[in-house]
Structure 1
């Protein structure tokens, strides 16, 4: 009996000590980690202001490969939400929601710092769980961003929850550390730069029949204009021979914008989707990835695309209709695209192309620049006066389109806010910006009357 009483007394003492210890423990938990990332602060702000790329850098997918995500709410900003479900008990079910962003996205580039708060709902102990992400531009030239991610939780007077603070360096800390490390690797593929002065919008494009020619030129405006004009002349001759009408300005599809040379396709829209070639009627369809040739794979040891049939009226490996030895035809565009405008010297167009790709990657918009390449249309060309002098070469206007794939929001944040593309006086880039082609030294002459306008 005495031993039983001693045992009970010991239990009471342990319980009292446990309660005292629990009361003495903090009612709140906090853990944070910091990394420096070689990206502009606006780019990282946009990555954290939506959850479209969250599965790529979250540690949750590494714990459960069968994890399922669901997006809800706005695509970007306050209210954007991601939820997940998992049969793995170490992951469980949960959700994150953007609770606040300071400042608004339009001011981040100028202020150089921001704070984003995510509310967390899962089975971790405690209430009022949240992640706070602080971003601040740093480095000698301001090209780095200091990223601090913190987790905060309220335990209140729940003593069991207070004891869980002893394990805050478990899953919460791992969530931050692995997430920041994975995020660093993910954003490394995003081109460096600042697109805060670019106001792109998501638009619906219509399938359009075009004739096109593949070409290339050194990154020099004079030589590029010559190559473009030569391509247009060939396309106009082909259109006349086919008895079809050109219906709009010239389009340039970018294949590769290299350090020294620019490879591209020049296209003219036409008024029909059916061409009469080699005595047959051929219907134009959209381009597609090449299909692999099993026979070629068995002999070479690797899969290869079948060789093209060069007969007019046949189709090449990309599903383009062959018109002659140089000209092809295809049904271009169709579907959602990210659109931006450039007003000014055509040397700035390549910068806008890069900025659109940056924007798409930070906002989680998917694109495939292999079969659905970025393209631009010159909607305002320079003119030539009676004395043959070029007027308005630095006041041209271009529309730049990046075709998008998969689940795409209806609008960009800039569209939602009613922001318009910049005018000539507010160019997001200039001819002296890195990435623009080398200046020719002289203004190139515009396309001759009756031809599609010169295009970058």
Structure 2
């Protein structure tokens, strides 16, 4: 009986000690780590301001490769939400919600998880130092009077802190795969949209990789295609396009494409084929129409073929200026795709909105496209 009483007293003393120590432990914990990247602040911000590539840098998937993610709410920015679920008890289920988003400066995630604590937030702040950007990841959690939580907070610098270090390492590794081109530029305003396919005439060619040779060859092929269009009773259904095939060190291979449609019947042209299908106008559609069909039975020279243009989702931007900057604009579209969880596919192309022979190169205007998945 004496030993039982001693055991009970020992338990009471341990409980009292647990409570006494717990009361004096902090009810709030804060962890912060930083890393440096040479990517511009806009690229870092866009990568973090959505959950499309979250699984590639956040350490949750490294703890459980089978974890499942579900996107909810806004696609990006304020209100975007990611639900996660894991069969591993240490992870369980929860969510991340973007509760604050200040472009190029700050992103706050509100965290719901099964771990001890409440008011959990992960805040990313970006310190732009010119050639480099410091990425700061801060974690805050409150435990209140939950003594078990306060004791758990003793280890938060190791549990959460080590995950933050791992996540920052993953993040810089992922950023290293993003093309280092800052699309936060007055020259571009990238948009994600869709285009419809159209019947077209196509001429393939190669030129030396300098702007004079490319524009001379492009102008010659546009003149050729326009003559073929006229002789076959067709009319242009959009601006001429340059579709990149291979951008090599010394040579540039590309297709010159002009969308076409049957010429509408007029009083002086009763033989025009008004029953033939016309292509969808080149204005930006909200959905992709049925694929176009190439015209058959045309009288074409060996260097021209009848085909169809690309139809589907694209990244697009307007550009006004020297055509020598078009490769840079295309690289900006690639960078935008990478930070937004998109994949460029097929071939980039430009619509020439001004006549080459009638416009100085500095006054040229274009629409630049890159198909995406």
User: TM-score, normalised to structure 1's length?
Assistant: 0.69
Q: 1: distance between equivalents of 2:351 and 2:216?
A: 17
* 2:312 corresponds to 1:338: no
Structure-to-structure mapping, 1:18-417, within 5 angstroms: 18-102=18-102, 105=103, 108=104, 114-138=105-129, 142-197=130-185, 198-236=188-226, 238-239=228-229, 243-271=233-261, 326-368=303-345, 372-381=346-355, 384=358, 391-405=359-373
Report the alpha carbon displacement of residue 37 of structure 1 after superposing the two structures with TM. 1.2
- Contact 2:322 / 2:361 at 8 angstroms: preserved in 1? yes
Deviations 1:258-302 (A, max 9, x none): 444333221111116xxxxxxxxxxx9969xxxxxxxxxxxxxxx
Taking the aligned partners of 1:381 and 1:263, their CA distance within structure 2 comes to: 21
Going from structure 1 to structure 2, the CA distance change for 1:268 and 1:65 (only over 3 Å counts) comes to: same
Q: What displacement does 1:331 show? A: 2.2
- Report the secondary structure of 1:265's partner residue: strand
State the number of aligned residues. 344
Which moves more between the two structures, 251-260 or 128-137?
251-260
Post-superposition CA distance 1:123-161 (Å, at most 9, x none): 1110001101111123xxx22111111211101111011
Unmatched segments (≥5 aa) in structure 1? 109-113, 273-283, 288-312, 314-322, 385-390, 406-456
- 8 A contact 1:27–1:156 mirrored in 2: yes
**Equivalent residues of 1:381, 1:393 under 8 A apart:** no
Cα offset for 1:189? Answer: 1.8
SS of match in other structure, 1:380: coil
Question: Alpha-carbon deviation of 1:242?
Answer: 5.1
TM value normalised by structure 2: 0.83
**RMSD of the alignment, in Å?**
2.8
Say if 1:36 and 1:11 are closer, same or farther in 2 by CA, change over 3 A: same
